[in-house]
Structure 1
Amino acid sequence: MIKVLVVDDHILIRKGIILLLEAYSDIEVVGEAGDGEEAIILAAKTNPDVILMDISMPNGLDGFMASQEIMHQNKETKVILLTMHDEEVYLRKAIDINVQGYIMKKSQSSELFEAITTVYRGNRYYKAGIPSEQLDKLFDLKGENDASVLTIREQEIVRFVILGYTNKQVSEKLHISPKTVENHKANIMTKLNLKNKSDLIQYGLNNYYYNL
């Protein structure tokens, strides 16, 4: 029995996915979550074998960051990003953070089942409507994105900076002090060798615009 956790902020989509999975006797849906934070908590409680994870979700913690945190906490859990985005920037980010699967929401239930069983066995499953040669090239380029050096919290802060949030607003969103926000920004600038806020914004737009 493969234990699956379903994560999507749209309840109708979640319920539809669960309904499809219930048709397979060797899959057990152990939980469902509506955002990244809830996904992390449920993953720790239910210890799923595979997580179907939406990318674009509310409250600052998207599918990429939630997946990173979950995979960090449990090396055995496999993640499949289930999304409507087939642009290269999304695929490259998925590859950079070592997500095991990537499929489109418009996929047939048989493809969904194939993706789950494939990653469960330890293999990669990427189907995003681009030529296999282009996908292979993206895997060859893995690791060239500087975003991988940032922690999940630092990635959150970069995204808020792009959106124009002040330190006070970011602190309220993340429940930390404005001083801590400023310290995180300083660490980000040092890690990425950036000189000023304009450089930070440009970096963020180049690496995080998929979730704006």
Structure 2
Amino acid sequence: MKLVIADDHAVVRTGFSMLLNYQEGMEVVGTAADGRQAFEKVKELSPDVLLLDLSMPPGESGLFAASKIHDMFPEVKILILTMYDDEEYITHTFKSGALGYILKNSPDDELIKAIRTVAKGERYIDPVLMNASFEKFLVTDEIPEHDKEPFNILTQRELEILPLVAKGYGNKDIAEMLFISVKTVEAHKSRIMDKLGLGSRPELVEYAVRKKLFDI
């Protein structure tokens, strides 16, 4: 089983690599420090499983990278690594195409179990986060009723643009980063504001911070 590890902390990449290379039938063939590097490593190395950190400032986040990688390389199984124990992120993990969600402080044997589970094409949720509402995610994409809020109706592209706007990037900068036109950025921004019921950039920034879409 070929693995790629994407995490913005070198010590985490090294530690996980040592652990996983020691396991029978597992080999870490590459590592990445952010979402964009993860995309390139997947493209270059064609791993079976990608371990992807959810938050990798200042680079591209794992949530957005997961969506792009799943669209381009659907055969690669994605396991999200995170310190966030917020159930809301489970929703977005599976919407992005990832198969698993595990906390970084989980025991080593639980991480191994998670990797082997997603490698078989099965879904995995850290046992610490499991409850009746989220058991359905193991077999379906249905979103629990209490998670049907404005955040969940944004498209993946809108979720990608929103934190960039909140960080203060201009339309031209965002267009260049995402390889789209300025008019497309403006259209997405307008739809984001409408969907979320926001009236100004300060409100958008506050929303992005509250939803942990980027780190301050």
TM-score in terms of structure 2 length:
0.81
> Is 1:121 aligned with 2:81?
no
Tell me which amino acid in the other structure corresponds to 2:143: L
- Counterpart-to-counterpart distance in 1, 2:164 and 2:102: 28
Equivalent position to 1:165, from 158, 163, 169:
169
Tell me which amino acid in the other structure corresponds to 1:14: R
Is the Cα–Cα contact under 8 Å of residues 10 and 34 in structure 1 kept in the other structure?
Answer: yes
* Aligned equivalent of 1:98: 97
- Counterpart-to-counterpart distance in 2, 1:132 and 1:175: 37
**Same amino acid, percent of matched pairs:** 31
Give the paired residue count.
205
Give the alignment of 1:22-61 within 5 angstroms. 22-61=21-60
Q: CA deviation at 1:30?
A: 1.0
Is the Cα–Cα contact under 8 Å of residues 66 and 97 in structure 2 kept in the other structure?
Answer: no
* Aligned equivalent of 1:140: 142
Q: CA deviation at 1:186?
A: 1.3
Q: CA deviation at 1:27?
A: 0.3
Tell me which amino acid in the other structure corresponds to 2:169: Y
Gaps of 5+ in 2: none
Is the Cα–Cα contact under 8 Å of residues 150 and 188 in structure 1 kept in the other structure?
Answer: no
> Is 1:156 aligned with 2:163?
no
> Is 1:209 aligned with 2:212?
yes
Q: CA deviation at 1:131?
A: 3.8
CA-to-partner distance for each residue in 1:158-211, whole Å, 9 max, x for gaps?
A: 112223333355457x2869xx33531214434875587538828953995343
Is the Cα–Cα contact under 8 Å of residues 60 and 156 in structure 1 kept in the other structure?
Answer: no
Gaps of 5+ in 1: none
- Counterpart-to-counterpart distance in 1, 2:85 and 2:198: 32
